[in-house]
Amino acid sequence: MPKNLLTSKFIKLILVSTICLTLILVNPKNFFNPVRELFLFTAYPFQKTFYIAGQMMNNFSSVIFSIGDYKKENEKLIRENNELLAKLANLEDQKRENDELRRQLELLPRDKYELESSLIIGQDQRGSGSWVIIDKGESDGLKEGMPVIVYDGILVGKVSEVYEKSSKVLLLSDSASSINVSDIGTSARGILTGEYGLGLILGMVEQTDMIKVGDDIITSGLGGLMPRGLLVGNIEQISNTSDKLFQQAVVRPKIKYSDLNVVFVIKKIK
């Protein structure tokens, strides 16, 4: 059969089918009611299936969009929760600092000295515990050589470098630290030096002077800005120098320098 003839028949079939379907759907004067009802009855299962499938697709799309919305909402809640946790941690840290400051203020000899409270904001990165950085500096009236104490008038070091808004405090345990001290019980005098961040050594004590294990060591007030009577530590072990000319002792600090959070700089004696 020629190809053109098949094409012509196919076009005619499509045209006739379209006309018949239009007449059935338009249904002038209800003439095609029986055919229309048969057509609708035959198409009903397919229509129902397509409708249910459409509803399912619509519900599926809604679920997909809802999952996306829930994910965004969940991410937002997680972000807000993390922000609240950070704020809470910051408030807890501030509360701890305030409590520590209040506790120390109650035990400080404020009637004797003009003090500048300071927070530790940095420390020796080598881990030797030789120095710390505080948040007060030249703008707060700090100068090199000023003593740095904690509660009960315990000396921990002195200001070694001063900047505009901060200062470096050389701790007593630093090998460059050197303080004139005396035995509170016997008045024996010596020089307290640091031992590379490891401890404190009392040296240059005359053989005729008496020192005992357990005695408290205080500043003698000789030289510089260091007042007398600041507590340093207590004698832990006594020995003689190799040449037997002097006594020396290992001094245990009254406070662990690695635990420092708040310190006070003595600006002047009242």
> Looking at domain 114-269, which CATH architecture does it have?
Beta Barrel (2.40)
* Mean pLDDT on 140-162: 93
At residue 231, the pLDDT reads 92
* Mean pLDDT on 143-152: 92
- Check whether 122 has a pLDDT greater than 70: yes
Which of the pair, 76 or 47, is modelled with greater confidence? Answer: 76
How would you classify residue 58: left for phi > 0, otherwise alpha for psi between -120 and 50, otherwise beta? Answer: alpha
At residue 219, the pLDDT reads 93
Q: Give the model confidence (pLDDT) of 225-242 as tens digits.
A: 789 989 999 999 999 988
> What's this model's pTM, rounded to 2 decimal places?
0.63
* Structure tokens, 193: 């030096």
Of the listed ranges 67-81, 154-168, 233-247, the least confidently predicted one is: 67-81
CA 254 to chain centre: 28
Of the listed ranges 78-82, 128-132, 211-215, 233-237, the least confidently predicted one is: 78-82
- Cβ-Cβ contacts under 8 Å for 169 (sequence gap 6 or more): 131, 132, 133, 134, 148, 156, 157, 158, 159, 160, 263
Of 140, 134, 132, 133, which Cα lies nearest the Cα of 164?
A: 140
- Check whether 128 has a pLDDT greater than 90: no
Averaged pLDDT of the chain? 78
DSSP 201-223: EEEEEETTS---TT-EEEE---S
What percent of the chain clears pLDDT 70, i.e. is strictly above it?
Answer: 61
* Mean pLDDT on 23-40: 52
Residue 87's pLDDT band (boundaries 50, 70, 90)? low
- Check whether 136 has a pLDDT greater than 60: yes
Residue 195 and residue 201 in contact, taking contact as beta carbons nearer than 8 Å: yes
What percent of the chain clears pLDDT 90, i.e. is strictly above it?
Answer: 41
Alpha helices in the chain (DSSP H): 3-26, 33-107
**Domain-by-domain residue ranges, the chain?**
114-269
